[in-house]
Amino acid sequence: MAAFSADSRSTEAEWMDTEAVPFEDFLACLEDLARVNRLSLGYRPTLGFLERLRRTGRLPSGRPLRILDAGSGYGDTLRAVAGWASRRSVAVELSGVDINPWSTRAAREATPADWPVRYHTADIFSHVPTDPPDLVISALFTHHLFGADLVRFIAWSEETARLGWFVNDLHRDPVSFHGFQLITSVGRWHRFVRHDGPVSIARGFRKADWLGVLAAADIDPRSVSLSWWLPYRLCVGRVK
Is 66 strand, coil or helix?
strand
Min CB(97)–ligand SAM separation in Å: 6
CA angle (160, 227, 66) in 5-degree steps: 30
Considering the rule CB under 6 A, would residue 82 count as an interface residue with ligand SAM? no
With CB under 6 A as the contact rule, which of the stretches 45-53, 67-75, 129-137, 180-188 interacts with ligand SAM?
Answer: 67-75
CB 204 within 8 A of CB 143: yes
Site string for ligand SAM, 4-43 (x = CB under 6 A): -----------------------------x---x------
Sheet holding 224-229, edge to edge: 117-121, 92-98, 65-70, 135-139, 164-170, 233-239, 224-229
Of 2-10, 18-26, 136-144, 208-216, the window that binds ligand SAM (rule: CB under 6 A) is: 136-144
> What φ, ψ does residue 154 adopt, rounded to 5°?
-65, -40
Backbone angles phi, psi at 202, to 5 degrees: -70, -25
Q: Which of 66, 144, 171, 172 binds ligand SAM (CB under 6 A)?
A: 144
From residue 185, alpha-carbon distances to 2, 48, 182 in Å are 14, 31, 5
151 binds ligand SAM (CB under 6 A): no
Tell me the window of 81-89, 91-99, 157-165, 173-181 that interacts with ligand SAM (CB under 6 A).
91-99
Which of 62, 123, 182, 220 is in the footprint of ligand SAM by CB under 6 A?
A: 123
Whichever of 116 and 204 has its CB closer to ligand SAM, that residue is: 204
* 183 vs 211, beta carbon nearer ligand SAM: 183
Among 10, 40, 77, 184, binds ligand SAM (CB under 6 A): 77
**Contact, 146 vs 213, CB < 8 A?**
no
Closer to ligand SAM by CB, 146 or 223: give it: 146
CB of 168 to ligand SAM, least distance (A): 7
Residues that bind ligand SAM (CB under 6 A): 33, 37, 71-73, 77, 97-100, 103, 123-124, 139-141, 144
